[in-house]
Amino acid sequence: MVFKLVIVFCFLAAVCNAGLDSLKLEGDKPFVRVALSQKATIHCCYRWTIKPHVTWIKTINNVNGTAIRSLVNLPEAEMNKPAEVINGATCHSLVFKEVQLSDTGLYQCKLNHSSLHIFTHGTFFQVYIPLQKTLNLSESVKNSIITAEGVLLMLCVLIPGTMLLCKSKKLNQLERKKGREEENIYEGLNLDDCSAAYHQIQRTNQQGPYQDVGSCEEDIQLEKP
């Protein structure tokens, strides 16, 4: 009896290995990103002489690092499209008519045949909320705004520069005017007269304003008490 069971298990293992040898998984699209409420389609393709039963599995990663797998349960109108053969590979499609934020996750095809359960590589599907435009401007308006910004930037550069040039020009004019006034002050002076007046002042300072009493020619008589 035990010998018969061993033979049966060996036969089943040989059959499984023969099935796996003929299986070739095609490369799935690794990432798909779609805006909210848009239509999207995910594909899984493989090459296998056996026709397995295919189901879609969704995997969600939690915050704590654990993964939760669940069977994709969509309405019949949005479920599997009939399998298509493209370049010799069998492809299954999962269609979303209007994607929702809860549809984000990793989608894989599960190939079931007898005791075999094979998962395809899978596609990570992400749903995002598009940014809303606060101002809907046409291209001509945008170009006008850009032109106005360029003009303002040019004015911000030219006006301060012009003011600095004018200020430096005024300072140069004042310095020139001051130099001319100093030249005019000394222009009418005679150097000979200035030297004679200078020597006279020097002699006066040397004699002093007071004379010595002892050098007076007149005799000074003091009154008797």
Q: What is the pLDDT of residue 162?
A: 85
Helix (H/G/I), strand (E/B), else coil: 200: helix
Output the pLDDT for position 183: 66
Alpha carbon distance, N-terminus to C-terminus of the chain: 177
Q: What is the pTM of this model?
A: 0.54
Amino acid 141: pLDDT: 85
Burial 64-103 (b: 16+ CB within 10 A, else e): eeeeeeeebeeeeeeebeeeeeeeeebbbbbebeebeeeb
CA distance 163 to 184: 32
pLDDT tens across the length of the chain (225 residues): 444 433 434 444 444 455 577 889 998 899 999 999 999 999 999 999 888 999 999 999 888 878 899 988 766 445 556 788 888 899 999 989 889 999 999 999 999 988 888 999 999 999 999 887 777 778 888 888 899 999 998 888 888 888 888 888 888 888 887 777 666 665 555 555 566 655 666 666 555 555 554 444 455 454 444
Residues 6+ apart with CB under 8 A from 116: 16, 19, 20, 52
Distance between CA atoms of residues 42 and 10, nearest Å: 38
pLDDT, residue 221, reads 52
